[in-house]
Structure 1
Amino acid sequence: MQRPALIVFGGLPGTGKTTVARQLSIRLDAVYLRVDAIEQALRAAGADVGALGYVIANALAAENLRLGRTVVADCVNPVLASRLGWRRTASQSSARMVEIELVCSDRAVHRRRAERRSPDIEGLRQPSWDEIVTRHYEPWDREHLVLDTATNSLEALVDGAEACVRGHA
């Protein structure tokens, strides 16, 4: 049996992470963890979120990885500290780590997507375009798969992610 994988999506809001991550989760029959859902539940409960959403998501990922389940984590993953947390979770769970960043190279397409989308989590406030483009987002520190949602179909994006997970990319 192949070791389970921790597949972590990252990228700015509006690049298509949730759409691709959900489809990959279905295709792989993997556990799907969305940090937005965790953080919104914390906000609704009156908690000060901070890094807590990522801490909880990592704990849930670790539990599922120990059960031998592949996990897809859907998050902005904007800083090295969050990426190191995911890597530590994979290592401590003896799981393979797959890092995937989604970008939208066409600024007009990205803006249109960001401004037209509606929240699919009750109470979640979507960031404005200005908040997206001014958000602190650190460059990645190591090799990872980068998928451009401006130039590829959903099927091609999921195919590329699956190929990477299966070690064929």
Structure 2
Amino acid sequence: MRRPGLILLGGLPGTGKSTVAVPVARELGAAYLRIDRIEQALADSRELPEKPRASGYLVGYALARDQLDLGVTVVAECVNPLKITRDAWRQVGDRHGRWTPEVELVCSRPEEHRSRVENRTVDIAGLRLPTWQQVADREYQPWDRDHLVIDTAVTSVANSVELVLQHANAAERLTPS
């Protein structure tokens, strides 16, 4: 039986995070946490004075902790743009010695990335997708530790999913029981 772990998929909007995360979660029978969905649910509540920023991530961390405590692997998908958010996810996974592979999706072809951002459809009711300019201007700090980088401009969805699964299996094997 597989030990529970926390797979983190990050990257700018339009790099294919949801496209890769969903089949990874299905393959593993894992819980799937998407910060966009959490943030939209918080916004829909109309209890917050402005669009959620940190609160979506904080809810995500709490939900991930609960799932890991229940013995359920989690696939968390979010932009994860800052060192502080990456460190917080890592702390969630490390809390009980869980394996926590980190994956960053990138799109190395700016014209393709722009096309994806400008032509994608909304799959969460009420969610306002960012414009290309907002994506280009977004604060996104470089990663400061080893992680798997997948360039979705040159790697198919199927191959990306397989790479994530291989990375997760390696992380699980390397983490002491």
The bucket for the TM-score relative to the shorter chain is over 0.9
What 5-or-longer segments of structure 1 have no aligned partner?
none
- Corresponding residue for 1:74? 77
1:7-86 aligned at under 5 Å gives the runs 7-46=7-46, 47=48, 48=50, 49-86=52-89
Deviations 1:117-137 (A, max 9, x none): 011000000000000011000
Task: Give the distance between the partners of 2:21 and 2:53, measured in 1 at CA.
Answer: 23
* Number of aligned residue pairs: 168
CA contact (8 A) 1:3 1:94 kept: no
| Stretches of structure 2 lacking an aligned partner (at least 5 in a row) | 172-177
Match of 2:145 among 125, 142, 146: 142
Cα deviation for residue 68 of structure 1 reads 1.0
1:123 maps to which of 99, 122, 126: 126
Say what the alpha-carbon RMSD is for the aligned residues. Answer: 1.1
* Cα deviation, residue 2, structure 1: 4.0
Partner of 2:91: 88
Instruction: Give the % identical residues.
Output: 47
Q: Deviations over 1:135-161 (max 9, x none)?
A: 000000100000110001111000100
SS for the counterpart of 2:67 is: helix
In structure 2, distance between residues paired with 1:30 and 1:147: 21
User: So what's the TM-score if we normalise by structure 1?
Assistant: 0.96
**Over residues 34-64 of structure 1, what are the superposed CA-to-partner deviations in whole Å (9 max), with x where a residue is unaligned?**
0000000111112241200000001000000
Q: Runs of 4 or more off by more than 6 Å in structure 1?
A: none
TM norm structure 2: 0.92
Question: What amino acid maps onto 2:45 in structure 1?
Answer: A
> Deviations for 1:75-107, whole angstroms, at most 9, x for unmatched residues?
000000100110111111331111000000011
